[in-house]
Amino acid sequence: MNQYVTGAVIKELREKNEMTQLQLADKLGVSDKTISKWETAKGYPDITLLEPIAEAFSISVTELISGNTVYNSNVSANVLKSKFYICPICGNVIHSMGEAVIHCHGVLMTVAEPEETDENHKIFIERTEDEYYVRIEHNMTKNHYISFMAAESSDRIQMVKLYPEGNAETRFKISGVKRILFYCNRDGLFYIDPVKGIDDKESGYDDARERRELEITAKILFG
């Protein structure tokens, strides 16, 4: 274990819970002087006390040790507000409905913040009956590739894993899709409104006026 709960974390959580040192001590069966020693870095709580301390603050032991308290504001579990965590070592993708403390290969993973797709990550979307056919102009080499694509609606997510030397393309059911995301192993997570992506390759991203007209037409046709 390369991390351990610090006195600063205990003090922050205690004050956030409006608890005195004596009140916390009573919950843990120790003296208030012991709590004071922890908070002034003159000692550490025994490992057997980690679970009781976490329970006292209504958090998990993982949160306590990491020092990152999770506050999940997405209580309605809206998929459009969900998070992606991607391990930089193995590429493991973890989808969460809210904030989480996640480790992979000993690394504390952070939320991948999606950016709007750009000139280096052109995405083209075609509507075919009840599906979106999605393709991305991107290298798919062993060192530089699109690792996955996902389509989000308010109540579900469709995710497709992609592999180097394959094709950066897939199909999603249209029903309720509000956002399409994809992950480049070098440049990170990107997103696009599927209506804005409806296009053909020849139109490209170069003519802003034509693109705006296309978007307006697409919204009229597809809502």
The string over 84-101, giving b where at least 16 C-beta atoms fall within 10 Å of a residue's C-beta and e elsewhere, is bbbeeeeeebeeebebbb
Model's pTM, two decimal places? 0.60
More confident of the two residues 85 and 78: 85
Residue 53's pLDDT band, with cuts at 50, 70 and 90, is: very high
Per-residue model confidence (pLDDT) at position 129: 87
Over range 77-99, report the average pLDDT. Answer: 83
Could you tell me the end-to-end alpha-carbon distance of the chain, in angstroms, rounded to an integer?
A: 52
Residue 108's pLDDT band, with cuts at 50, 70 and 90, is: confident
Mind spelling out the 3-state secondary structure of the chain? CCCCCCHHHHHHHHHHCCCCHHHHHHHHCCCHHHHHHHHCCCCCCCHHHHHHHHHHCCCCHHHHHHCCCCCCCCCCCCHHHCEEEECCCCCCEEEECCCCCEEECCEEECECCCEECCCCCEEEEEEECCEEEEEEECCCCCCCCEEEEEEECCCCEEEEECCCCCCCEEEEECCCCCEEEEEECCCEEEEECHHHHECCCCCCCCCHHHHHHHHHHHHHHHC
More confident of the two residues 31 and 72: 31
